[in-house]
Amino acid sequence: MSENQSLDIFQSIRKDAFGALEEASDFETVHKIEAEYIGKSGRLTKILKSLKEMSLAERKEMGSTANALKKEIEEKIKLKKEEFGERGGSNHRDADWIDITAPGKKISRGHIHPISRVLKEVTSIFESMGFEVVEGPEVETEHYNFDALNIPKEHPARDLWDTFWIKPLKNGLLLRTHTSPNQIRYMEKHQPPLRIIVPGQVFRYEASDSSHGIQFYQLEGLMVDKTTSVANFKALIEQFFKKLFKENIQMRIRPGYFPFVEPGFEVDIKDRSDKWLEVIGAGMIHPQILKNVKLDPSQWQGFAFGMGLDRITMMKYKIDDIRLFHSGDLRFIRQF
Amino acid sequence: MLFSYNWLQSFFDKKLPKPEKLAEVLTSHSFETKVLKEVGLPSGGKDIVLDIDVLPNRAHDCFSHLGIAREISVVCNIPLKIQPQQKLAIEKRKAEEFLKLDVQESDFCRRYIAGIMLGIKVGPSPSWMQERLIVLGQKPINNIVDSANYVMFELGQPLHAFDMDKLNPAKIVVRRAKEGEQIITLDNKEYKLDKSMLVIADSSDPIAIAGIKGGKKKEIDAKTKNIIIESANFEPINIRKTSQKLGLRTGASVGFENEISPALAADAIERVMALISETAGGKIVSEKIDFYPKKFKPSRISFGFKDVASLLGVKIPEKKALSILNRLRLEPKKEKGEITVMCPSERMDLARKEDVIEEIARIYGYDKIPAEIPEGVLMPVRRNDNYFYGNVIRDILVGAGFSEVYNYSFAKIGQIEIENPIAMDKKYLRMDLWNGLRMNAAQNLKYFDEIKIFEIGKIFRKAHERIIEKNKLAGVVVYKDNKKNTDVFFEIKGVIDALLSGLGISDFWFDNSPEPPINRVEIKIGNDGIGFIMSPNTFEIDLEELIRLATEEIEYRPVSKYPAMIRDIAVLVPPSTKVINVLDVIENTAGKLLIDTDLFDIYKGDELGANRKNLAFHLIFQSSEKTLSDKEVNVLIDKIIKAIEGNSDWEVRK
């Protein structure tokens, strides 16, 4: 073989190999090209193997050219492999290659109860509007739960709150039926202007079903100032729903009755199935209540509201049974 | 309460809005209203039943078709029809000639009108009357009873009729029952009465439980000719108490316990006599007996338009407000910028200016009140620590793989008993959280291999006869694979470590409980217990204590410029030896160059011998002044080894 002949061979191998690699569009093809040129019986390998039959001078000359070419092809193949390797070839044996479609290693993380989650959001919205979080007892006195809120004994309005009583009855202790006693508790000790929210568990002695629980979460709100009005309440609640649901929620206010407010109203929001859902009971603080806590109704006025957090949580996450919240069932909790 | 659409329509000449539209308007301005069902009538045609959730403060006047018709008239702005006067057969005599009335309890009986009708003929009521009652779920009985019922649904006044000829002598006494006195009611049930209860009696026995239910003895039957009609007004609280004591709730008792205007009794008796005369013939004795000692005075309320604007936050045009008040029949009079209204007798809910402002607001429409962001200085909000740290704790525990559950505050056992428990396993208020969590864990093991749950909630205990309510945090870890449960105590300990250090509490330690049960381990800070581990898998911590100790203020210590040196040391000790005891010896011996000690392994194995366990520690030495030499550290290590081996049961492995 003359020198020119052999150079021609190298040039044609080079041209073929590079041409093929240039056109190769997947990992498989690159792999085939690798075998064809530098594999065990590849075209270039064969030449390298035949070197030992040549003269020393020839061997030296051809050898260095062949090895240089081999190196060049190897590098090109490597580049190509990297290119396709990243897209995930199926039978890639490269140690660095990662199957990015395989699932990540599971890091055990728990789940916050959906109501805690919503409460946190609700609270931060009210805090951003200047409302302070306040707490109150779950075992309440008849005085704070009823009498001080204009709900005297033997008044039919008491039927609105089915009550769990604590033994012995003569002590007049009960499980609070609403968070409203904290309006009184707070106003007795603080001077306006006031802006508070009171989240907490409340209790009702009634048959439970998918939309009524014997124990559920409420959030009381109270704002008292010189000019606090129904229009202010409306603005606050609109802002609240907008932030909580991150969309424009249809809302309506209609007349309602609670003995400790006047006027009293209910706030409904429209759920996804286009049904009105009652979520807030509210009103302007009754002048008698202000007098009860030694505030002058001609100086101060304000609103109070009570919100059912269970209902809001149910709406937010499309939960269909209120009893799930107290079920302790991780099949439920782990979805949040 | 159920209402008939046709009946409501009968109060108007103009056609009412369609039921759905009417329900929508009433819901926005008066009461939540649902279109319940369509009912086919025996005479052909149909009616619609509306379910109207009359608000409790309007039970005075709206537990009746007339009341709702008045509401409709106001909110839809259509006038009520003027009812034509009927010509009635009158017997010009005085009821007193036939009947003696003796009201002994004028506090409980505010008004008692007795009307008399002669020569009536008992029979079925006309079909139009029957249909209206059937639509409302009532069973027609006869023309007398049905007429009385009809008036109750129409005007809201409960009425009662007695067979006058069965009263001998014809005398009605309104008195308290005698202790143990008995009555058999119209539905043949026997009730034992006590002296707190008001009865209608003849000269000897009760003939009705006042305002609740009539008695069997003087009931109207097919032969009845002459009747006494009672249109009375009873005091609400006594009616309510009696009704609750007897477990007897009737249309009449509900009406009276919500309080009805005494003025209504007069309208109602006129109406029922006219109806009886129409359906059963007979003659009306012209002059009734009317016991009415304290006349009802309608209230008069004054306010200014500025009060309306201030409370509602919107200026409703005066003309508009006045028109609303007129429609409500409040007869507003404007004088020197003040409005004075006269409340109709049935509107017993109106007592102060706020009540009238509410009337203006709801009729005007809450949807028309604009939303207005409140003015005022925005004060920085004070943080509620309980609530704030509750969330910090949630985040730490969730990060450690725990999920949060809520359990009921009730339990099978406890110190605070419920008077009216809803279930046998909810007779008490819970006195701890961890028992509930263990039950949750057992339930959940059906579905999961690994349970890590926690709860933040209140527990209830008694101390010195007072109820103590405490916020607690509890958690439990359980694995389905029992082999994993052997190490669970240390996992719990690790969680508590993570939790307390996450809250910035570092100087806590664990102590065997001085009291049983043996598997209880106290978590202490200084000498105070803040909670416990119920070995192996449960813990419960006092949240208030924890929060009191938690501090956000982390103090920065400059990082030493000189390298730390770490040495490991392994100590063989008897199984009963506590890690803390070994740690104490190490730390007390090493001095301040030992900046940290970590226990990284506890090992028990056969090759150690039966009564041995191996504790392995990393000891970290560092000075803030210089680079420590091997020699210096070796001196300290030797000192530590010597101190450890000072205890003959302990051996340092070399």
User: CA–CA separation, B437 vs B493, rounded Å?
Assistant: 17
> Can you state the angle between helices A3-23 and A27-38, rounded to 10 degrees?
170
Domain end point (choices A85, A105, A133): A85
Q: Do B444 and A330 touch (CB under 8 A)?
A: yes
Contacts of B499 in chain A (CB under 8 A): none
Closest to B512 (Cα-Cα) out of B504, B502, B499, B522: B522
Confidence category of residue B557, pLDDT binned at 50, 70, 90: low
Q: Nearest C-alpha of chain B: how many angstroms from A28?
A: 43
Contacts of A138 in chain B (CB under 8 A): 409, 458, 460, 469
Q: Is A270 within 8 Å of A282 (Cβ atoms)?
A: no
**Contacts (Cβ under 8 Å, ≥6 apart) of B295:** none
Q: Do B458 and A201 touch (CB under 8 A)?
A: yes
User: CA–CA separation, B151 vs B161, rounded Å?
Assistant: 12
Q: Is residue A140 part of a domain?
A: yes
> Which strands sit side by side in the sheet containing B213-214, from one edge to the other?
B100-103, B171-176, B198-201, B206-209, B213-214
pLDDT digits (tens, 9 = 90+) for A213-222: 999 999 999 9
Closest to B403 (Cα-Cα) out of B452, B476, B440: B452
Same domain, B280 and B325: no
The answer, for B257 touching chain A at a CB cutoff of 8 Å, is yes
> Which strands sit side by side in the sheet containing B300-304, from one edge to the other?
B300-304, B338-342, B333-335
Which two structure tokens, joined as six digits, stand for B385? 């620590």
Angle at the Cα of A53 from the Cα atoms of A51 and A56, rounded to 5 degrees: 70
Residue B374: its H or E element: none
Structural domain harbouring A9: 3-85
Same domain, B493 and B630: no
Q: What is the pLDDT of residue B439?
A: 94
Same domain, B152 and B180: yes
Q: Is B391 within 8 Å of A133 (Cβ atoms)?
A: no
pLDDT digits (tens, 9 = 90+) for A210-249: 888 999 999 999 999 999 999 999 999 999 999 998 877 8
Same domain, B533 and B501: yes
Q: Please state, in angstroms and as integers, the Cα–Cα distance from residue B68 to each residue in A288, B77, B80, following that order.
A: 29, 13, 11
Q: What is the pLDDT of residue B377?
A: 65
43-82 in chain B: CB under 8 A from chain A: 55-59
Q: What is the pLDDT of residue B481?
A: 87
Same domain, B122 and B271: yes
Q: Is residue A90 part of a domain?
A: no
Which chain B residue lies closest to A256 (C-alpha atoms)?
A: B55
Q: Please state, in angstroms and as integers, the Cα–Cα distance from residue B381 to each residue in A126, A131, A137, A218, following that order.
A: 10, 6, 22, 21
pLDDT digits (tens, 9 = 90+) for B47-67: 999 999 999 999 999 999 999
- Interface with A, mutate which of B52, B242, B366 (most A CBs under 10 A): B366
Same domain, A77 and A135: no
B237, B384, B418 ranked by CB distance to A167: nearest:
B418
Same domain, A226 and A266: yes
What pTM was estimated for this model as a whole?
0.80
Q: Is residue B97 part of a domain?
A: yes
Residue count of chain B, please give it.
654
Q: What is the pLDDT of residue B17?
A: 97
Q: Is residue B374 part of a domain?
A: no
Q: Do A131 and B373 touch (CB under 8 A)?
A: no
- Interface with A, mutate which of B418, B434, B471, B479 (most A CBs under 10 A): B418
Domain end point (choices A41, A69, A85): A85
Domain end point (choices B291, B310, B335): B291
Number of domains in chain B: 5
Annotated ligand binding at B359? The verdict is yes
Q: Nearest C-alpha of chain B: how many angstroms from A146?
A: 16
Which two structure tokens, joined as six digits, stand for B545? 């204590």
384-443 in chain B: CB under 8 A from chain A: 384, 386-387, 391, 394, 397-410, 416-422, 429, 436-437, 439-440, 443
Q: Do A113 and B404 touch (CB under 8 A)?
A: yes
**Contacts (Cβ under 8 Å, ≥6 apart) of A114:** A313, A317, A319, A325, A333, A336
pLDDT digits (tens, 9 = 90+) for B536-545: 889 999 998 8
Q: Is residue A101 part of a domain?
A: no
pLDDT of B396 > 60? The answer is yes
Contacts of A259 in chain B (CB under 8 A): 57
Give the CATH number of the domain where residue B265 resides.
Answer: 3.50.40.10
Same domain, A197 and A264: yes
- Interface with B, mutate which of A115, A134, A167, A277 (most B CBs under 10 A): A167
Which chain A residue lies closest to B428 (C-alpha atoms)?
A: A166
Q: Is residue A95 part of a domain?
A: no
pLDDT of A53 > 90? The answer is no
Q: Do A257 and B405 touch (CB under 8 A)?
A: no
Position B499: which residue type? Answer: L
What per-residue string of b and e applies to B235-245 under the rule 16 or more CB within 10 Å gives b? bbbbbbebbee
In DSSP terms, which residues pair with B29 in a beta bridge?
none
Number of domains in chain A: 2
Residue B628: its H or E element: none
A111, A167, A215 ranked by CB distance to B408: nearest:
A215
Contacts of A326 in chain B (CB under 8 A): 406-408
Same domain, A71 and A187: no
Give the CATH number of the domain where residue B392 resides.
Answer: 3.30.930.10
User: CA–CA separation, B358 vs B301, rounded Å?
Assistant: 13
pLDDT digits (tens, 9 = 90+) for B97-126: 999 999 999 999 999 999 999 999 999 999
Same domain, B264 and B158: yes
Closest to B111 (Cα-Cα) out of B243, B269, B231: B231
Annotated ligand binding at B375? The verdict is no
Same domain, B346 and B418: no
Give the CATH number of the domain where residue A317 resides.
Answer: 3.30.930.10
pLDDT digits (tens, 9 = 90+) for A133-174: 999 999 999 999 999 999 988 777 787 789 999 999 999 999
Give the CATH number of the domain where residue B333 resides.
Answer: 3.30.56.10
pLDDT digits (tens, 9 = 90+) for A171-187: 999 999 999 999 999 99
Same domain, B446 and B540: yes
Closest to B148 (Cα-Cα) out of B285, B280, B284, B272: B272
Same domain, A227 and A152: yes
What per-residue string of b and e applies to A197-210 under the rule 16 or more CB within 10 Å gives b? bbbbbbbbbeebee
Closest to B451 (Cα-Cα) out of B491, B402, B498: B402
Which two structure tokens, joined as six digits, stand for B433? 């959280």
User: CA–CA separation, A221 vs A197, rounded Å?
Assistant: 4
In DSSP terms, which residues pair with B200 in a beta bridge?
B174, B208
Contacts of B257 in chain A (CB under 8 A): 156
Q: Is A297 within 8 Å of B310 (Cβ atoms)?
A: no
Q: What is the largest CA-CA distance in chain A?
A: 122
Q: What is the pLDDT of residue B359?
A: 97
Q: Is residue B377 part of a domain?
A: no
What per-residue string of b and e applies to B591-612 under the rule 16 or more CB within 10 Å gives b? eebbeeeeeeeeeeeeeeeeeb
Q: Is B57 within 8 Å of A260 (Cβ atoms)?
A: no
Q: Is residue B83 part of a domain?
A: no
Arithmetic mean of pLDDT, B291-296:
93
Q: What's CA B566's distance to the chain center, in Å? A: 62
**Contacts (Cβ under 8 Å, ≥6 apart) of B186:** B213, B214, B215, B216, B219
Q: Do A229 and B311 touch (CB under 8 A)?
A: yes
Domain end point (choices A30, A64, A85): A85
Q: Nearest C-alpha of chain A: how many angstroms from B596?
A: 29
Q: Is residue B376 part of a domain?
A: no
Same domain, A129 and A255: yes
Q: Is residue B262 part of a domain?
A: yes
Same domain, A118 and A75: no
Give the CATH number of the domain where residue B644 resides.
Answer: 3.30.70.380
CA A143, A145, A147, A151: dihedral to nearest 10 degrees?
-160
Q: Do B458 and A165 touch (CB under 8 A)?
A: no
Q: What is the pLDDT of residue A93?
A: 55
How does strand B403-404 pair with strand B450-463? parallel
* Three-class secondary structure of residue B274 per DSSP: helix
* Three-class secondary structure of residue B461 per DSSP: strand
Same domain, B280 and B307: no
Residue predicted with more confidence, B559 or B10: B10
- Interface with B, mutate which of A115, A131, A133 (most B CBs under 10 A): A133
Same domain, B172 and B246: yes
Same domain, B270 and B168: yes
Which chain B residue lies closest to A261 (C-alpha atoms)?
A: B354
Which two structure tokens, joined as six digits, stand for B270? 């006129």
Q: Do A264 and B236 touch (CB under 8 A)?
A: no
Report the Cα–Cα distance between both ends of chain B, in Å, rounded.
88
Position B104: which residue type? Answer: Q
**Residue % of chain A over a pLDDT of 70:** 94
Q: Please state, in angstroms and as integers, the Cα–Cα distance from residue B69 to each residue in A143, B7, B16, B294, B342, following that order.
A: 38, 9, 10, 29, 20
Arithmetic mean of pLDDT, A237-262:
91
Q: What is the pLDDT of residue A2?
A: 56
The mean pLDDT value of chain A amounts to 88
Place of tokens 């070839």: A89
Same domain, A251 and A132: yes
Contacts of B55 in chain A (CB under 8 A): 255-257
Angle at the Cα of B64 from the Cα atoms of B61 and B66, rounded to 5 degrees: 85
Which chain B residue lies closest to A277 (C-alpha atoms)?
A: B32
Which two structure tokens, joined as six digits, stand for B447? 């579905």
Q: Is B643 within 8 Å of B589 (Cβ atoms)?
A: yes
Cβ–Cβ pairs < 8 A, chains A and B: 228
For B258-292, where are the alpha helices, taking DSSP H only? 264-280
Report the Cα–Cα distance between both ends of chain A, in Å, rounded.
77
Q: Is residue A108 part of a domain?
A: no
Same domain, B192 and B254: yes
Q: Is residue A304 part of a domain?
A: yes
Q: What is the largest CA-CA distance in chain B?
A: 129
Arithmetic mean of pLDDT, B195-208:
95
Q: Is residue B585 part of a domain?
A: yes
ipTM of model over 0.85: no
Same domain, A312 and A175: yes
Same domain, A34 and A156: no
Q: Do A227 and B257 touch (CB under 8 A)?
A: no
User: CA–CA separation, B166 vs A24, rounded Å?
Assistant: 114
Structural domain harbouring B134: 90-291
Place of tokens 């609070």: A176
Closest to A197 (Cα-Cα) out of A269, A122, A88: A122
Position B129: which residue type? Answer: M
Q: Is residue B554 part of a domain?
A: no
Same domain, A239 and A312: yes
Contacts of B371 in chain A (CB under 8 A): 231, 234-235, 238
| Residue positions of A annotated with a catalytic role | 161, 178, 204, 218, 261, 304
**Contacts (Cβ under 8 Å, ≥6 apart) of B33:** B22, B23, B24, B26, B27, B50, B51, B52, B53
pLDDT of A305 > 70? The answer is yes
In DSSP terms, which residues pair with A165 in a beta bridge?
A174
Radius of gyration of chain B from its Cα atoms, rounded to whole angstroms: 40
> Can you state the angle between helices B143-155 and B264-280, rounded to 10 degrees?
140
Q: For the purposes of burial, counting CB atoms within 10 Å of the CB of B395, is it exposed (0-12), middle (13-18) or buried (19 or more)? A: middle
Domain end point (choices B11, B41, B75): B75
451-480 in chain B: CB under 8 A from chain A: 451-454, 457-458, 460, 467, 469
Residue B137 CB coordination number (10 Å): 9
pLDDT of A3 > 70? The answer is no
